[in-house]
Amino acid sequence: MADRGSTGRHPIVFQAPPSPTSPPVPIGKRYGWRAALELLQKVPLGELMRRAHAARMARFPADQVSYVLDTNPNYTNICETGCTFCAFCRTSGHPQAYTLTPAELARRVRRAERAGATTVLLQGGHNPALGLQDWLAYIRAIREACPTMHIHPFSPSEYVFMAQREKMSVAAILRRIYDQGIRTIPGGGAEILVEGVRNRIAPRKASVAQWLATTQTAHQIGFQTTATLMYGHLETDADIITHLMELRRLQDRTGGFSSFIPWSFKPGGSVLGREVALAAHPAKYVRVIATARLVLDNFPHIQSSWFSETPSAGELGLLAGADDFGGILMEEHVLKQAGHTPSVTLEHVTAMIRRAGFTPVQRNSHYVLLGQSQR
């Protein structure tokens, strides 16, 4: 089982020691599996943060931390996959089930754009009533309503599901989306890239091999993708390291990952929550962030999230190797259904970044910084 403890009622207060002048790993060498596990389990947290922060500053010497203004309206909550960790999805016919029409989705995105959003993260359930033409209709409706909005649609597991539904190859589905001008894909559905654990929490979802193959194909076509990790459920620390190594090997082959985004399992309202009642301690999140920065040496960006965890844990992640603070979600439903409903303004996010000692700067979904840093 993963390390787990009380979520605590008080914010963690920690100041990382100054970064060393020398890199934590000699040039040309990498952390192997056993050394990576030792980082996650045994290296004192302050020392781990120090090493990770040094690696981050070596890659990004400026004191900037990026963020994106985005929205995640979730086009449907109908899903036939039945993942035990999910409190969001509903079966067809459930009184709370919904599927947005393209016009409804476009109206929601337009509202977010008026509030400042530049990116729409488009994900939903594995809804058997929706086909490829529906996906294309969503993209076209958003583009017509919001021509400058960056559309960041459909996770690898959704592509696997759609390919099976349409009796097409995953590559063919990806190319149809690419032909719509889409160039980035969210890395959701990875959960934990260890088949034994995956079979226990998401037995009907895309397998480890399918998720990796879909992502590799996307990179080869020309998409840039993120990569995620969900921890704090039935996995072990060894499983987390195996997950990181799978990502690193794929990045060695394709170079298509833009960032790594971990988040902890939220037990509220899910079937798995009956077995795993306590959320992972925020200190574990900081350890995962720091370990990822050191192990994923071929990933440019590591994201620390105020939203998926706590503001305090998110701030600490910025002192533990992360260079990005994620999105200021203007609409989100997945974590809300699990009872996790943090809400902040742009002013709150930029204040948190400054409090951690950095300068906030807005980016787009290609991690290109927009305009001038905010002082």
Q: Where are the domains of the chain?
A: 33-362
User: Mind giving me the DSSP string for 86-113?
Assistant: -SS-B-TT-TT--B--HHHHHHHHHHHH
Parts of the chain with a pLDDT under 50: 1-27, 332-342, 372-375
How many C-beta neighbours within 10 Å does residue 8 have?
12
**% helix, strand, coil for the chain, step of 5:** 40, 15, 45
End-to-end CA distance of the chain: 43
Ramachandran bin of 273, using left for φ above 0, alpha for ψ from -120 to 50, beta for the remaining angles = alpha
> What dotted CATH number matches 33-362?
3.20.20.70
Burial 10-32 (b: 16+ CB within 10 A, else e): eebeeebeebeeeebbeeeeebe
DSSP structural state of residue 120:
E
Residue bearing tokens 């995640």: 72
Output the CA torsion 26→31→36→42 (10° steps).
-20
Sign for the pseudo-dihedral over CA of 129, 133, 139, 144: negative
Alpha-carbon gap, residue 223 to 260, rounded angstroms = 16
How many C-beta neighbours within 10 Å does residue 194 have?
20
User: What pLDDT, in 10s, does the model give residues 319-351?
Assistant: 999 999 998 876 544 444 434 344 578 888 999
Q: What is the pLDDT of residue 222?
A: 98
Bridge partners (DSSP) listed for residue 226:
259
Regarding beta strands 359-362 and 64-68, do their DSSP bridges make them parallel or antiparallel, or are they unpaired? Answer: parallel
Q: What is the pLDDT of residue 28?
A: 57
Q: What is the pLDDT of residue 266?
A: 87
> Which pTM does this prediction carry?
0.88
